C-alpha cells in the first residue's frame, strides 16, 4: 500500500491523498524507519526481546488507529483535523516518543519494558483525546 501511495505522491503530489492515506503513509514510514530498521552494533538495538517488539508495534498500531479515528470523527464536527495538524501537534511529544521507543534497553526486564510501552500507548490515546476535545 505504501508503494502505491508513494507512486501517487510522486505523480500528483501529497495534497492529492486523502487524510487517511496520509496517515497510512506516515505510519508506514514509522514502521520502516523506527521499527524494522536495526543496528546490530548499538547497545539498545542489537537484540529486541519479544515484549519490546510487541509493545512497540502496539504503540504504532495505537497511533495509527487514533489517527484514523480522529480524522473520521473530526469530519462530523466544525473542528476539522488533518494529518498536518496531528503531525504538528505531536511532533515533540507522541511522534518523538514513538521514535525513541527503540532506545529502551533490551536488558530491561520484560515487565519494565511492557510497563513503559503501555504507558506510551496510554499517552498516545490521551493526547488524541485532548486534540479532539480540547
The verdict on residue 57 lying in a domain is yes
Give CA–CA dist 93/80, Å, rounded: 21
CATH of the domain at 42: 1.10.1140.10
Does any domain span residue 11? no
The three cell numbers locating residue 17: 491523498
User: Which residues in the chain land under pLDDT 70?
Assistant: 9-11, 134
Residue 8 included in any domain: no
* Cα angle 79, 127, 20; round to 5: 55
Residue 89 lies in a domain: yes
At residue 9, the pLDDT reads 66
Q: Are 35 and 56 in contact (CB under 8 A)?
A: yes
Domain extent, residue 56, equals 18-133
pTM over 0.85: yes
Residue 124 within any structural domain of the chain: yes
**What's the structural domain count of the chain?**
1
Confidence (pLDDT) at 11: 66
Amino acid at each position: 500500500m505504501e508503494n502505491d501511495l508513494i507512486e501517487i505522491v510522486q505523480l500528483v503530489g501529497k495534497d492529492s491523498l486523502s487524510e487517511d492515506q496520509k496517515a497510512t503513509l506516515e505510519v508506514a514510514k514509522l514502521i520502516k524507519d523506527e521499527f524494522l530498521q536495526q543496528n546490530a552494533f548499538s547497545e539498545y538495538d542489537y537484540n529486541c526481546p519479544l515484549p519490546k517488539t510487541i509493545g512497540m508495534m502496539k504503540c504504532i498500531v495505537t497511533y495509527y488507529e487514533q489517527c484514523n479515528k480522529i480524522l473520521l470523527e473530526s469530519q462530523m464536527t466544525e473542528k476539522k483535523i488533518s494529518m498536518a495538524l496531528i503531525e504538528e501537534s505531536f511532533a515533540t511529544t507522541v511522534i518523538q516518543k514513538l521514535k525513541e521507543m527503540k532506545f529502551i534497553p533490551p536488558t530491561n526486564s520484560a515487565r519494565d519494558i511492557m510497563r513503559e510501552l503501555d504507558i506510551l500507548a496510554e499517552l498516545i490515546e490521551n493526547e488524541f483525546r485532548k486534540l479532539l476535545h480540547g
